[in-house]
Chain A
Amino acid sequence: MDWEALWLSLRLGGLTVLLLLPLSIALGRFLAMRPFRGKAFVEAAIALPLVLPPTVLGFYLLVAFGSATWLGQIYERLFGHTLVFTFEGLLAASVIINIPFAVQPAQRAFEAIALDLRDAAATCGLSWWRSLRRIELPLAWPGILTGMVLAFAHTLGEFGVVLMVGGNIPGETKTVAIAIYDRVQAFDNEAAGRMAALLLLISLAAIALSFALTKRVVRRYG
């Protein structure tokens, strides 16, 4: 069992979810609110990581993070090294590829809030912020949570993008999914099997938890 890789994966998943939480709320709510020109294009762009081969996405991120682009240059000037083959680069890639998993359920959840409820909040004198905190977020919570669980589980399992952007540096970019591949390459099927089983259990538990929470919320407010 490669505990270092497992810890790295859990850390990556946790930080990815932490960064995606405000993004999914803001973007999901914005997209749910009202139609605007080019909305279909924005939604397509958000869904893109779902259908793009991970190597294609990884390739573009690798290029974008490199020192040949303005993004890479700014980062290098600020922090003294490029994003490529670092944990930070892996985290940035992880956030980007998980946007559809986090944003789409949040958007559906905000869309499901009846327009009347927002109007009622306004005529009750609730400020924008209070309406979000007291009315919209509690009602959209199951969807937002589902998105977070999906993003977390997906981060643990991501392989192609991690290999392209992060490489295979122990303690820095070697996730448990990469470690499994590593072990199989070394004919160490026993270690690979243990890690695969653990990943399976964590993913199953995460998704079961999100389903259970969603069901409880639905029962309460039915």
Chain B
Amino acid sequence: MAESPSPNAALSVNLHQQTPIPLDAEFTVAPGEILALIGPSGSGKSTALRSIAGLYAPSRARIVCNGAIWLDRDAGINLPARARRVGMVFQSYALFPHLTAAENVSEALGDLPAEARRDRARALLARVHLDGLEDRRPAELSGGEQQRVAVARALARRPDVLLLDEPFSAVDRVTRRRLRRELAELRRELPMPVILVTHDLDDVVRLADRICVMRRGQILQTGPVEQVMTRPSSAEIAELLDLAGDVPAVRQPRGSA
């Protein structure tokens, strides 16, 4: 179910291919908006994210960010990841294990002079409440602290798009709640479109503005979180979202299961 592209979209994404990973997805994200991609494993949500980051290119695809074409297979345009201003938080965080927290962040501040990089890395780490831990290596940080370093590193480039790939899946429940709260506070200052890949509805409810339900590479429904949660357009979506109580209400008018 594709929406008509909103005129103020900062990011518009069109992904299509049959193999090896089927994809048939189109969506847009506005500045400052958080779009959640949700679906079971193998639904293509991580592939969609990697395509935006420039780590993967589906056979037919077009990605435009702030008017700049990042990917257009028909026109033969495919900017490499380092030429796209993206910030990405990996599921595994993918912190550089031999560098300190501050060095991890300052690696992403490539063009600045050394001193400015050091200052800005410290400021970014302070923003995610890691002051005092700048000189620790990832192995000396807790899971939650590592995730914060990953967020700070993703923001370091002043990205045009922030991509979060299951950012809370590797921590315990208490930490997860705290990180989610911190990200909810942080997001108010974030001017760029944010895409959050998750399979946890709590993440969606607490953080996202809109939700995109995916299955086998296809988008089943897109809309504001409340709308999709209260009025899933099919029993399948209700099931994917684990909205057990709502299923009968959906089934009756459609008469299908």
Which A residues are within 8 Å of any B CB, using their own CB?
Answer: 114, 116-117, 119-127, 130, 134-135, 138-139, 220-222
Contact = CB atoms under 8 A, between A and B. Distances in A.
A121 B50 CA distance: 14
Nearest to B107: A124
Contacts of B107: 121, 124, 126, 134-135
Interface in B89-108: 90, 92, 94-99, 107-108
Interface in B29-43: none
B108 A139 contact: no
Interface string B188-203: 0000000000000000
B86 interface: yes
Given A138-B98, A221-B97, A221-B139, A122 B90 contact: no
Given A130-B110, A221-B97, A120 B88 contact: yes
B94 A119 contact: yes
Interface of B: 50, 53-55, 80-82, 85-88, 90, 92, 94-99, 107-108, 110, 137, 139, 153-154, 156-157, 163
Contacts of B96: 117, 120-121, 134-135
B157 A125 contact: yes
A119 B97 contact: no
Contact of B82 (A116, A117, A127, A139): A127
Contacts of B137: 220-221
Contacts, number: 71
A116 B108 contact: no
25 contacts: A114-B92, A116-B94, A117-B94, A119-B53, A119-B55, A120-B90, A120-B96, A121-B96, A122-B80, A123-B55, A123-B82, A123-B86, A123-B88, A124-B108, A124-B153, A124-B157, A125-B108, A126-B107, A127-B82, A134-B96, A134-B107, A220-B98, A220-B137, A221-B97, A221-B98
Contacts of A120: 88, 90, 94-96, 153
Nearest to B105: A124
A220 B99 CA distance: 10
A125 B98 contact: no
Contacts of B87: 123
B46 to A, nearest CB: 12
B90 A116 contact: yes
**Residue of A125, A134, A135 ringed by the most chain B CB atoms within 10 A:** A125
Nearest to A139: B98
Nearest to A128: B82
B92 A123 contact: no
A165 B153 CA distance: 55
A151 B107 CA distance: 34
B219 to A, nearest CB: 24
Contacts of A125: 82, 85, 108, 110, 157
Contacts of A121: 96, 107
A139 B97 contact: yes
Contact of B81 (A123, A130, A138, A221): A123
A13 B82 CA distance: 40
A91 to B, nearest CB: 34
Nearest to A127: B82
